[in-house]
């Protein structure tokens, strides 16, 4: 089951244009397009006539025309034309979803439209803030969305999965970890003091000696993880807040369930040094992207085993504290949505 009354990232803004674009979100097929003035629109991707995906159709002005028998729908989802027929039945409508465009992403609200307030969109301003250099990307993941959330809340895996990129053994062995929880928020703070910088940091930060490194993971449900990461030469005061002379980055993650066992993974990497240097932005992005491909392998392998036996026992270790807290929040929010009667009857 999914949490519905939240804004989710549905697409990169460049994916949605004048050609209808279909994507499954929370188990529902959705078609996206832009009206002639550029406004993004989302419909259920199913014609009201005989179920053909409307993403196979085309836009005639601001009307989406079905590929099969030519019914046309306006941006409110109302059928406005049936070829060869004057009367249009009042039920000739397709469901529409609230959408918003922010931080280079198209956001969608899959729950009760009356509750869709764009002010509730999770802040990812680093992605379009002129004080930061940033690049975003998308990965299709063959696993349940919560496995991706778990991964980002427990960064001890960097030492093993990402040994050659963003990790090294100091991360698992020498970190001082603190987990703080608010009703709808988990923050995992990790400090790795006076240790070797990982390969990526050496490349972009030009560190010659040991560093003090931080990873501050800010989790907001259902599946937003904003990581404040960086390092300064050791002993220069980063734990007390003095970050000059080092590197500051944000690793920004928005995971959207596609189905129970597949996910859309939108992510971006931002840096606050040399922000106009596009070549540097690209280089940092590629380092992280290599690491993320390593994660995607892990998620699909976990999911394959879970598919074989979803109830197989598992153990918890100390590093799971943030993961467990986040899952508790999701369970509680799911119960609250169920109690409020907002869950789709079909689920
Ligand atoms: S299925 Fe769309 S017009 Fe017939
Ligand atoms: Fe990872």
Cis, bond preceding 222 (omega within 30 deg of 0): yes
- Residue 213: both structure tokens together: 């490194």
User: What pLDDT is recorded for position 158?
Assistant: 86
Q: In ligand 1, which atom is closest to the CA atom of 69?
A: 3
Burial class, 190, CB count within 10 angstroms (exposed 0-12 / middle 13-18 / buried 19+): buried
Classify domain 122-338 by CATH number: 3.90.380.10
Instruction: State how far the Cα of 190 lies from the Cα of 197, in Å rounded to an integer.
Output: 15
Does residue 346 have a pLDDT over 70?
no
Instruction: State how far the Cα of 22 lies from the Cα of 47, in Å rounded to an integer.
Output: 13
User: What pLDDT is recorded for position 171?
Assistant: 67
Residue nearest atom 3 of ligand 1, based on CA coordinates: 69
Same fold, 7-113 and 122-338: no
- From residue 280, give the alpha-carbon distance in Å to each of 68, 135, 255, 276, 287: 48, 11, 26, 9, 11
Instruction: State how far the Cα of 271 lies from the Cα of 317, in Å rounded to an integer.
Output: 32
Please work out, in degrees rounded to the nearest 5, the angle formed at the alpha carbon of residue 342 by the alpha carbons of 341 and 346: 95
Query: In the structure, which protein residues have their CB atom closer than 6 angstroms to any atom of ligand 1?
Result: 47, 49-50, 52, 66, 68-71
Q: In ligand 1, which atom is closest to the CA atom of 50?
A: 1
Q: What is the pLDDT of residues 213-261, one digit of tens each?
A: 999 999 999 999 999 999 999 999 999 999 988 999 999 999 999 999 9
Q: What is the pLDDT of residues 148-188, one digit of tens each?
A: 999 999 988 988 998 877 766 666 678 889 999 999 999 99
Q: In ligand 1, which atom is closest to the CA atom of 70?
A: 3
Instruction: State how far the Cα of 176 lies from the Cα of 188, in Å rounded to an integer.
Output: 10
208 vs 258 pLDDT, higher one:
258
Q: What is the pLDDT of residues 307-337, one digit of tens each?
A: 999 999 999 999 999 999 999 999 999 999 9
User: What pLDDT is recorded for position 88?
Assistant: 98
User: What are the residue boundaries of the structural domains of the chain, listed by start?
Assistant: 7-113, 122-338
User: What pLDDT is recorded for position 317?
Assistant: 94
The CATH H-level (homologous superfamily) assignment of domain 7-113 is Rieske [2Fe-2S] iron-sulphur domain (2.102.10.10)
Q: What is the pLDDT of residues 55-101, one digit of tens each?
A: 999 999 999 999 999 999 999 999 999 999 999 999 999 999 999 99
- Residue 339: both structure tokens together: 């109690």
Instruction: State how far the Cα of 307 lies from the Cα of 252, in Å rounded to an integer.
Output: 29
Burial class, 255, CB count within 10 angstroms (exposed 0-12 / middle 13-18 / buried 19+): buried
Q: Coil, strand, or helix at residue 303? A: helix
Q: What is the pLDDT of residues 99-114, one digit of tens each?
A: 999 999 999 999 999 9
């Amino acid at each position: 089951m999914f949490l519905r009354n939240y804004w989710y990232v549905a697409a990169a803004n460049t994916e949605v244009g004048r050609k209808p674009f279909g994507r499954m979100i929370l188990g529902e097929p959705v078609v996206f397009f832009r009206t002639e003035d550029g406004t993004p629109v989302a419909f259920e991707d199913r014609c009201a006539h005989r179920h053909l995906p409307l993403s196979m159709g085309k836009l005639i002005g601001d009307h989406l025309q079905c590929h099969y028998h030519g019914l046309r729908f306006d941006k409110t989802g109302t059928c406005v034309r049936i070829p060869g027929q004057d009367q249009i039945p009042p039920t000739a409508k397709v469901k529409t979803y609230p959408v918003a465009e922010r931080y280079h992403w198209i956001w969608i609200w899959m729950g009760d439209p009356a509750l869709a307030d764009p002010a509730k969109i999770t802040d990812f301003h680093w992605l379009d803030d002129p004080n930061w250099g940033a690049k975003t990307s998308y990965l299709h993941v063959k696993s349940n969305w919560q496995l991706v959330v778990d991964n980002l809340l427990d960064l001890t895996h960097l030492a093993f999965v990402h040994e050659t990129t963003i990790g090294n053994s100091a991360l698992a062995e020498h970190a001082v970890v603190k987990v703080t929880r608010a009703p709808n928020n988990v923050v995992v703070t990790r400090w790795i003091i006076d240790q070797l910088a990982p390969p990526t940091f050496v490349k972009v930060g030009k560190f010659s000696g040991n560093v003090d490194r931080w990873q501050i993971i800010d989790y907001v449900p259902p599946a937003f993880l904003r990581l404040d990461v960086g390092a300064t030469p050791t002993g220069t005061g980063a734990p007390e807040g003095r970050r000059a002379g080092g590197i500051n980055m944000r690793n920004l993650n928005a995971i959207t369930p596609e189905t129970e066992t597949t996910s859309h993974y939108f992510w971006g990497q931002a840096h606050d040094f040399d922000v106009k240097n596009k070549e540097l932005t690209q280089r940092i992005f590629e380092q992280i992207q290599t690491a993320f491909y390593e994660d995607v392998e892990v998620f699909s392998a976990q999911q394959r085993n879970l598919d074989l036996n979803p109830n197989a026992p598992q153990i918890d270790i100390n590093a799971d504290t943030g993961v467990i807290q986040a899952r508790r929040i999701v369970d509680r929010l799911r119960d609250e949505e169920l109690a409020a009667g907002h869950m789709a009857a079909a689920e």
